[in-house]
Amino acid sequence: MGAAKKGFVCKVCGFISINGSSPERCPVCRAPKTSFEEKEDAINTAKDVNNLAETEKKHIPVIEVVKKCGLIPEGCQDVHVKIGRIQHPMQTEHYIVHIDFYIDNEFISRVILTPDKLNPAAALHLKAKAGKLAAVELCNLHGAWIKEASL
């Protein structure tokens, strides 16, 4: 496994707050602040970004920021995220549960993935023009993994 990053994890839905505190209510399931647990190893990161291990290659999100949106021509940029340089499996026994998106460490969206029916990828159409985008994916076997990119 990779290195670890601290976060506050919702015990109801698995949302991870990455801004250094737990919210009053979970932005995904609306559970109260008391449903959060601080974990030192909430999210996995690469131990060495220049020498990724096999597990890291299958779990760390790959982010592509497309400055011009083909669907909404004005005031939109696309973000494409796929899970892993080596495509992660999407089988009933091993799959990506969801991908959560953040801008400047604040949650903006969750995409839920279904094994056997979907590929391990998602796209968003953002109004934001600048900031730090983070994608956090949850693998049912290997936990949460993060990747960040500039918009």
Strands 36-45 and 143-150: parallel
Whether 12 contacts 27, CB under 8 Å: no
Prediction pTM value: 0.94
CATH for 3-150?
Answer: 2.60.40.730
Residue 128 — pLDDT band, cuts 50, 70, 90? Answer: confident
Residue 70 pLDDT more than 90?
Answer: no
The predicted structure's pLDDT at residue 73: 84
The answer to whether 125 and 78 have CB atoms below 8 angstroms apart is: yes
pLDDT score of 1 more than 70: no
Q: What is the mean pLDDT of the chain?
A: 95
- pLDDT above 80: residue 144: yes
Please give the sequence-ordered ranges of beta strands (E in DSSP) within the chain, or none if there are none.
Answer: 3-10, 16-17, 36-45, 61-66, 77-83, 96-103, 106-112, 121-126, 132-139, 143-150
Residue at 101: amino acid letter: F
At 61, list the tokens.
Answer: 């999100």
Split at pLDDT 50, 70, 90, the class of 129 is: confident
Query: In percent, how much of the chain has pLDDT > 90?
Result: 86
Domain locations in the chain as residue ranges: 3-150
> pLDDT-derived band of residue 67, with 50, 70 and 90 as boundaries?
confident
- Confidence class for position 4, pLDDT limits 50, 70, 90: confident
Work out the average pLDDT over 52-58. Answer: 93
pLDDT digits (tens, 9 = 90+) for 22-41: 999 999 999 999 999 999 99
Task: Report how far residue 50's alpha carbon sits from residue 99's, in angstroms, rounded to the nearest whole number.
Answer: 24
- Cα–Cα distance for residue pair 35/37, rounded to 1 Å: 7
What is residue 110's predicted lDDT score, i.e. its pLDDT?
98
User: Would you say the C-alpha torsion 132, 126, 62, 119 has a positive or negative sign?
Assistant: positive
Q: Which two tokens stand for residue 117?
A: 């029916």
**What one-character DSSP code corresponds to residue 25?**
B
**Residue 68 above 70 pLDDT?**
yes
Number of H helices, E strands in the chain: 1, 10
Please give the pLDDT value at position 119.
Answer: 97
150 touches 107 (CB < 8 A) = no
